[in-house]
Amino acid sequence: MNTARALLVVVALLAVAACSGPILANPPAQQPVVITPTEPPVAVADPIPIELPRDDGPHDRLTEWWYYTGHLRDSDGGRWGFEYVIFRAERGGFPVSWASHFALTDETGDRFHYAQRSEIGPQVDRSNGDGFDLSIVGADPERPETYGRPPWTMAGSDGVDHLDVMLSDVETSDAGLEAPVTLSLDIEAIKPPALHDTDGWIDFGPAGGSYYYSRTAMTATGSLVLGDRELDVEGAAWFDHQWGDFIAVGGGGWDWFAVNLDDGTDLTLSLVRDAEGNYPLVYGTLVEADGTTRHLPGSAFTIEVTGHWTSPHTGSEYPAGWAIELRGADLRIELEPTVADQELDTRPTTGVIYWEGSQVVRATRAGAPLGGEGYVELTGYAATLAGQ
């Protein structure tokens, strides 16, 4: 979702994949399957032009992810935020590794729940031709009883996508939600893809580089099932796809913002910190209502933190409110979380604790009020590995 999600790669899976000798995958209630290392992919001379829908699909690169966030309204008047991501990682000749996170924010009921899964092996990728078709069966490493539950799937090509996520009673045991929970969405882009940094190639210098594009405006329609209640939902989604031969950038974490304004303007901003707390990478992309894009250097905007929240789960303190101003555009955007607690502890699958959640958006352009919707991701504010 931003150029620094490299730390949000499947750290826990790669720790397994880095062991010497064959990897033993032993899912519950199944016979052990021995997966042996294969030849690593051939290096590619970067950058090469992004070509869609070809590049919607998986790549033989060190790191890759498909990432959705969105805002839904249900047929009973409720409002929901969602996050759904699948990560892919290759390391040398070891089997490809996968992890997935799903989060649901009940904005009306002030509730938040997330779940996670991981899997090793090529069977996740069912793609055939342009686009992606991914299916995570796997399990939450800390809840092996979740293995074999209905798969989490995402598929798409050229901005026409479909998502299916089903959480069992085990995966919603601490959510305060009726179980099972199922989200099924048809998603379709209404603007051209936005290639970040003008051509979709982000140069990390010694850390490598990344291809990165977004579909910032997508319609979303489908159903949300909560126990015995089935709700029709509709709303909007934002899609990020990023891949490249990089492992770690943004050693101090990052703040990522995605905002859709009611006048059709879409905005994404990234502030990436190094281990010393400096900001070596600050940039954004502005997408106009007609789909044209403009790269924003760090000098084009300011972000002021207006509030904080301390997690009762980890004791971590996060920013929890922002004022964004675009210089020369007479545009001010104020953000406030819809639900304070949208923290995810994903150490079992990706080795990190992070905060990502839906926002209340209040904006003014040339003094006139303007509404919208937004999502914010925050990393580096909590311990990133167990024991730290």
Q: What letter would DSSP give residue 13?
A: H
pLDDT tens for 249-261 read 567 889 999 999 9
For residue 22, what pLDDT band results from cuts at 50, 70 and 90? very low
CATH number, domain with residue 369: 2.40.370.10
Residue 35 domain-assigned?
A: no
Residue 386 domain-assigned?
A: no
For residue 6, what pLDDT band results from cuts at 50, 70 and 90? very low
More confident residue, 377 or 41: 377
Contact (CB, 8 A) for 85 and 240: no
Q: Which of 224, 251, 271 shows the shortest CA–CA distance to 378?
A: 271
What pTM, to 2 d.p., does this model score?
A: 0.90
Domain of 140 in residue numbering reads as 5-24+57-379
Residue 46 domain-assigned?
A: no
Q: Report percent pLDDT > 70 for the chain.
A: 85
Residue 17 domain-assigned?
A: yes
For residue 277, what pLDDT band results from cuts at 50, 70 and 90? confident
Residue 34 domain-assigned?
A: no
CA distance linking residue 95 with residue 23, whole number of Å = 8
Q: What pLDDT was estimated at residue 3?
A: 39
Average pLDDT of the segment spanning 17-35: 34
Residue 219 domain-assigned?
A: yes
Domain total of the chain? 1
Phi and psi based region of residue 213 (left: phi greater than 0; alpha: psi -120 to 50; beta: remaining):
beta
Q: Which amino acid is at 224?
A: L
Helix (H, G, I), strand (E, B) or coil at 12: helix
Burial letters 319-356, b for 16+ CB under 10 A, else e: bbbbebbbeebebbbbbbbbbbbbbbbbbbbbbbbbbb
Burial label, 116 (beta-carbon count in 10 A; 0-12, 13-18, 19+): buried
Burial label, 111 (beta-carbon count in 10 A; 0-12, 13-18, 19+): middle
Question: With 90 as the cut, is the pLDDT of residue 275 above it?
Answer: no
Residue 385 domain-assigned?
A: no
Question: With 80 as the cut, is the pLDDT of residue 201 above it?
Answer: yes
Residue 121 domain-assigned?
A: yes
Question: With 70 as the cut, is the pLDDT of residue 35 above it?
Answer: no
pLDDT tens for 69-106 read 999 999 899 999 999 999 999 988 889 999 999 999 99
pLDDT tens for 156-181 read 999 999 999 998 877 876 666 777 89
Question: With 90 as the cut, is the pLDDT of residue 268 above it?
Answer: yes
pLDDT tens for 298-348 read 999 999 999 999 999 999 999 999 999 999 889 999 999 999 999 999 999
Q: What pLDDT was estimated at residue 243?
A: 96
Which residue bears the tokens 């979709």? Answer: 200
